[in-house]
């Protein structure tokens, strides 16, 4: 094929990744797609997708979910997109590009967005069967396929992608190792303290980390497949799958072949307009470009800025790329990691403010100049303040630096609202959007919601880490303009959850339909409600059921329709469509006869069994139609629902206490059992966890719970608002040296006050930080009865305790409720074909091939059926 003359000048884009797609959008935004022919040559077999979220594929997202390409956009702007057909040669003299297919395209402007390629250390057998890189969707598909016949995986590289790859291997059921040549994980983003906190947390997840060692050789067997790795310290690591994630290099070979200047360490040299220094008709953007400041930027945000700069230059507008903010906020294996500004104090003559709690996996460091200027920082384990801190970088914060990193309860942390940020503060670093731009979107372009502002400014459309601050700025902007901010629960109700709770309690409302028709927004009345308010109202009615005279079972009448999947079947839905069964074991104490029953049930139904962190035994893999049969046997043996599926009390963990332990000063097991039996079945805005430690050694980890109890020689100390989850928070001391009766009284009040005033899906930790006055206000209400409502709170709890009924015991004796426990209503004897298992370590696990396609709705499996 040969080039043909075109009426319009042609722009050829080589590469269609995230930066390439942003370049196309920038062309369209400047009207260049109407005046130019635009041709895209893409090497991968699919158009641009979100490489930042690549690992989410292993969490069930499909390649289609990750796509960034709207084909309607491509067609609307007449863009000629050739996937699976990369550029192979460039003739700069003739200004033509030749693709692998033989297609030859002449150009007026050539834009290279070829990205980068994974660096693989030059070790023996690096290309053996079982060796992979972690860069594209095709790489992930190959790893997923090979993992089905593997047991152990090793990742070479402890950076961002390396940790994500290790987490993916673990999720695929492999024993996972991380090998990092540097002395700590993520050496570019975090310092020694941050690396130590990250290491502790990752090792607690069951991954093995080897730092300070390199890979000397990949060991292969007689069949040429990987059997292990030999490390630089002389040790050997047995593994049958290796993923190289040791960094990337600019893909600049096409540029080299056509004589463009490249840097000594790679990268196509460009000026501040992203035009190559060799040829004014050729531009380079993204990870293949060596910017004018001598740096190759490996983040998407600088690539987007380069794309905008190149498009502006082609349109003859003034624009330049002189560098970019390298701040990043990541969630690695569920752990928040962020760095911003001069995180390592490279500018010198600066001071550090550090907060570290290795037990909780927390590390926070701020780098402060001698004049008080915030220069940068590192956050590991809790990056909640990232958006605010990054916005203040380069300025003197209006509060003492230490107040920005101390957690609640460790001092007097200051919460800085959006009004404290200057207009030139960058809120969205991915898209370089400043606070002033967001304010203008609200005040001048009449944007009133986060989606409106996203569409107007592109803020929050890439990694999403700024969305929370975005919402705060929108509300602040609306209030400053005199606009009343809608703080209602959803589009159906103008009231908050707290206000709806008060309505239900005061008016004894027992029906969601009644509440919607009487108190919903006018447009919502007579409708069906939404997925936000239905489970929220269902939870409120369940919390107050005995008090207001509603049905005392979540599957009674209308209540059943308000529940999510877990509550709908009184069991936790697992990733392959099966369910888990978790009977209550108060305090972790169990008699041998009951252990035998659990073992027999697990054996008879082929269930996977695991002892949980909450001192219970979880049985996985039950099909929905098996749940009533399993629970009938459990109820006969004296078990009851553990409510692992509900937004309610889960467990009260305990140590063995003074009965067995030589350090124990109180009977923690008895107290844990008493508390668990008292609060079982208590529906709340979010799940509740508790623990009782028999002494100050804190073996039950009570301070990581929503309410925790620690024994003293004089009684009990009560802590509240803890959270050991993705954002760890130590609980705060509410009261100390309490008697048994005083302890239970305060917990009653605390829980009912939380249920009354918390927002939907708000843990006690978040609620305690949000509620005006924080812990001091809660103490005034709960301990000192400052609002005069303690009698009412105690009465509400007393009614709950008196009317508790085991949900499963009632369900198995109710034919109407049992009728729902089928995969297909019109084919009750047909098991769900999605639910399948394969053997693992003398038990079984979900069949991984099904995970690659995600869970399909049952009506796609059994056409025409009425599904769950």
3-state DSSP percent of the chain in helix, strand and coil, to 5? 35, 20, 45
Upper half-sphere CA count for residue 42 (Cβ side, 13 Å): 22
| 475 to 51, 417, 469, 487, 500: CA distances (angstroms) | 32, 11, 10, 9, 22
Among 519, 537, 563, which residue terminates a domain? 563
Decide: helix, strand or coil at residue 776: helix
Q: Say what the pLDDT of residue 59 is.
A: 73
* E-only strand ranges, 319-403: 328-332, 335-341, 350-357, 362-369, 374-380
Shared domain check, 108 and 18: yes
Q: Are residues 186 and 81 in the same domain?
A: no
Residues 6 or more apart whose CB falls under 8 angstroms from that of 324 comprise 297, 299, 301, 302, 305, 432
Residue 585 belongs to some domain of the structure? no
Distances (CA, A) of 284 to 45, 97, 273, 274: 22, 15, 10, 6
Res 470: pLDDT: 82
pLDDT at 718: 96
Cβ atoms within 10 Å, residue 257: 11
pLDDT one-digit tens code per residue, 592-643 = 999 999 999 999 999 989 888 888 999 999 988 999 999 999 999 999 999 9
Question: Does one domain contain both 694 and 797?
Answer: yes
Specify whether 551 is located in the same domain as 679.
no
235 within domain boundaries:
yes
Q: Which of 245, 256, 354, 257 is nearest to 298 (CA)?
A: 245
Q: How far is CA 398 from CA 127, 403, 419, in A?
A: 55, 11, 11
Same domain flag for 255 and 242: no
Which pLDDT score is estimated for 335?
77
Closest CA to 273 of 411, 406, 111: 111
Average pLDDT, consecutive stretches of 10 residues, N- to C-terminus, the chain (868 residues):
58 96 94 95 94 81 87 94 96 96 96 95 95 94 93 92 88 92 87 86 88 94 95 94 93 96 95 96 96 90 93 94 80 77 84 81 88 89 79 81 64 54 76 85 84 85 73 79 78 91 92 92 87 89 88 76 77 81 90 93 91 88 91 94 91 90 90 96 94 91 94 94 80 94 97 94 89 88 94 94 92 88 71 77 70 34 29
Q: What pLDDT does residue 417 have?
A: 58
Strand intervals (E) in 148-190: 152-156, 175-180
* Number of C-beta neighbours around residue 279 at 10 A: 17
Distance between CA atoms of 480 and 533, rounded to whole angstroms? Answer: 29
Q: Determine, yes or no, domain membership for 842.
A: no
What is the pLDDT, as a whole number, of residue 95? Answer: 96
Position 861 scores a pLDDT of 29
User: Which residues neighbour 76 within 8 Å (Cβ) at sequence distance 6 or greater?
Assistant: none
What is the C-alpha to C-alpha distance for residues 394 and 615, in angstroms, rounded to an integer? 48
- Compute CA distances 849 → 34, 517, 576, 831, whole Å: 45, 46, 10, 19
Residue 334: the pLDDT is 67
Of 807, 829, 846, which one is at a domain's C-terminal end? 807
Q: What pLDDT sits at residue 254?
A: 97
d(CA 460, CA 122): 39
Please give the C-alpha separations between residue 843 and each of 57, 160, 472, 670, in angstroms, as whole numbers. Answer: 26, 33, 48, 34
- Is residue 197, in this structure, part of any structural domain at all? yes
Query: 3-class SS at 445?
Result: coil
Indicate if 674 and 802 belong to the same structural domain. yes
Q: State residue 5's pLDDT score.
A: 43
10 Å CB burial of residue 789 (0-12, 13-18, 19+) is middle
Looking at 520, 538, 563, the residue that finishes a domain is 563
Are residues 234 and 147 both part of a single domain? yes
**What secondary structure letter does DSSP report for 680?**
T
What is the Cα–Cα distance from 847 to 837, expressed in whole angstroms? 4
In a shared domain, residues 667 and 787: yes
**Which structure tokens are listed for 766?**
């978040």
Distance CA 376, CA 342 (A): 4
Q: What pLDDT does 850 receive? A: 37
Q: Are residues 62 and 136 in the same domain?
A: no
The H or E element spanning position 145 is: helix 137-147
Q: Same domain, yes or no, for 241 and 270?
A: no
Answer whether residue 103 is part of any domain: yes
Domain membership of residue 29 as a residue range: 10-117+250-314
280 is a domain residue: yes
Residue 723 gets which letter from DSSP? B
Specify if 53 maps to a domain.
Answer: yes
Residue 744 sits in a domain whose CATH number is 3.30.413.10
Within a domain: 387: no
C-alpha 133/C-alpha 120 separation (Å) is: 8
CATH of residue 294: 3.50.50.60
SS3 424: coil
- Same domain membership, residue 278 and residue 229: no
**Does one domain contain both 101 and 136?**
no
Domain count along the chain: 4
Which pLDDT score, from 0 to 100, does residue 454 have? 86
- 160-185 burial, b at 16+ Cβ within 10 Å, e below that, comes to bbbbbbbbbbbbbbbbbbbbbbbebb
Q: CA–CA distance from 30 to each of 146, 235, 309, 428, 431 (Å)?
A: 46, 58, 12, 22, 17
Per-residue pLDDT at 670: 94
Check residue 690 and give its pLDDT: 95
């Amino acid at each position: 094929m040969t080039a043909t003359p075109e009426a319009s000048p042609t722009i050829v884009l080589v590469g269609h990744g995230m930066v390439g797609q942003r370049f196309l959008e920038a062309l369209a935004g400047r009207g260049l797609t109407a005046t130019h022919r635009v041709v895209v040559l893409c090497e991968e077999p699919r158009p641009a997708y979100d490489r930042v979220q690549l690992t989410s594929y292993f969490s069930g997202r499909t390649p289609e979910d990750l796509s960034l390409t709207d084909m309607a956009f491509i067609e609307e702007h007449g863009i000629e997109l050739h996937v699976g057909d990369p550029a192979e040669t460039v003739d700069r003299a003739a200004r033509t590009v030749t693709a692998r297919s033989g297609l030859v395209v002449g150009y007026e402007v050539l834009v290279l967005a070829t990205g980068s390629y994974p660096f693989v250390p030059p070790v023996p057998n690096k290309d053996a069967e079982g060796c992979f890189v972690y860069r594209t969707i095709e790489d992930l598909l190959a790893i997923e396929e090979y993992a089905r016949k593997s047991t152990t995986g090793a990742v070479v590289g402890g950076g961002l992608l390396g940790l994500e790859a290790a987490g993916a291997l673990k999720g695929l059921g492999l024993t996972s190792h991380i090998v990092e040549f540097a002395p700590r994980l993520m050496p570019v983003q975090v310092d020694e303290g941050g690396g130590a906190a990250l290491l502790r947390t990752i090792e607690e997840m069951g991954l093995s980390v080897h730092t300070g060692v390199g890979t000397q050789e990949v060991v292969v067997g007689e069949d040429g497949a990987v059997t292990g790795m030999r490390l630089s310290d002389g040790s050997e690591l047995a593994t049958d799958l290796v993923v190289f994630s040791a960094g990337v290099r600019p893909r600049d070979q096409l540029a080299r072949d056509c004589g463009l200047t490249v840097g000594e360490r790679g990268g196509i040299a460009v000026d501040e307009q992203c035009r190559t220094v060799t040829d004014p008709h050729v531009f380079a953007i993204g990870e293949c470009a060596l910017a004018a400041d001598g740096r190759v930027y490996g983040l998407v945000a600088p690539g987007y800025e380069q794309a905008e700069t190149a498009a502006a230059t082609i349109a003859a507008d003034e624009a330049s790329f002189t560098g970019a903010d390298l701040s990043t906020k990541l969630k690695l294996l569920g752990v928040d990691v962020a760095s911003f500004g001069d995180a390592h104090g490279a500018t010198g003559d600066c001071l550090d403010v550090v907060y570290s709690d290795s037990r909780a996996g927390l590390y926070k460091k701020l780098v402060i100049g001698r004049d008080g200027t915030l220069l940068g920082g590192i956050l590991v384990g809790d990056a909640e303040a990232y958006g605010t801190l990054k916005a203040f970088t380069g300025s003197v914060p209006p509060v003492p630096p230490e107040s920005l990193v101390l957690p609640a309860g460790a001092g007097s942390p200051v919460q800085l609202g959006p009004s404290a940020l200057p207009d030139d503060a960058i809120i969205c670093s991915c898209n370089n959007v400043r606070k002033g731009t967001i304010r203008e979107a609200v005040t001048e372009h009449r944007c009133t919601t986060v989606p409106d502002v996203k569409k107007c400014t592109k803020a929050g459309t890439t990694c999403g880490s700024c969305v929370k601050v975005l919402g705060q700025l929108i509300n602040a902007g609306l209030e400053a303009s005199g606009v009343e901010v809608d703080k209602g629960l959803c589009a159906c109700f103008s009231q908050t959850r707290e206000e709806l709770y008060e309505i239900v309690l005061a008016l004894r409302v027992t029906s969601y339909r009644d509440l919607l028709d009487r108190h919903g927004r006018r447009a919502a009345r007579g409708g069906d409600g939404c997925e936000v308010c239905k489970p929220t109202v269902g939870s409120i009615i369940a919390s107050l059921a005995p008090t207001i005279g509603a049905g005392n079972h979540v599957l009674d009448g209308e209540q059943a329709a308000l529940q999510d999947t877990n509550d709908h079947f009184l069991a936790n839905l697992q990733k392959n469509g099966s369910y888990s069964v978790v009977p209550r074991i108060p305090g972790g104490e169990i008699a041998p006869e009951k252990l035998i029953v659990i073992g027999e049930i697990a054996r008879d139904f082929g269930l996977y069994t695991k002892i949980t962190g909450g001192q219970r035994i979880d049985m996985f893999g039950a099909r929905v139609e098996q749940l009533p049969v399993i629970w009938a046997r459990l109820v006969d043996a004296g078990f009851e629902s553990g409510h692992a599926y509900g937004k309610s009390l889960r467990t009260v963990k305990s140590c063995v206490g003074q009965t067995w332990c030589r350090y124990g000063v109180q009977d923690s097991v008895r107290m844990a059992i008493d508390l668990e039996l008292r609060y079982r079945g208590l529906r709340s805005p979010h799940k509740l966890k508790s623990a009782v430690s028999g002494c100050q050694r804190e073996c039950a980890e009570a301070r990581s719970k929503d309410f925790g109890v620690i024994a003293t020689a004089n009684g009990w100390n009560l802590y509240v608002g803890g959270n050991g989850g993705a954002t760890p928070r130590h609980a705060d001391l509410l009261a100390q040296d309490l008697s048994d009766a005083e302890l239970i009284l305060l917990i009653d009040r605390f829980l009912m006050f939380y249920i009354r005033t918390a927002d939907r899906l708000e843990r006690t930790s978040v609620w305690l930080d949000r509620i005006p006055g924080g812990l001091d206000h809660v103490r005034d209400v709960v301990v000192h009865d400052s609002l005069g409502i303690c009698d009412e709170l105690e009465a509400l709890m007393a009614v709950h305790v008196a009317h508790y009924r085991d949900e499963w015991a009632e369900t198995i004796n109710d034919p109407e409720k049992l009728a729902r426990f089928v995969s297909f209503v019109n084919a009750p004897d047909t098991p769900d074909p999605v639910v399948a298992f394969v053997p693992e370590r003398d038990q079984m696990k979900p069949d991984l091939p099904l995970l690659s396609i995600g869970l399909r709705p049952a009506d796609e499996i059994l056409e025409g059926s009425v599904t769950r």
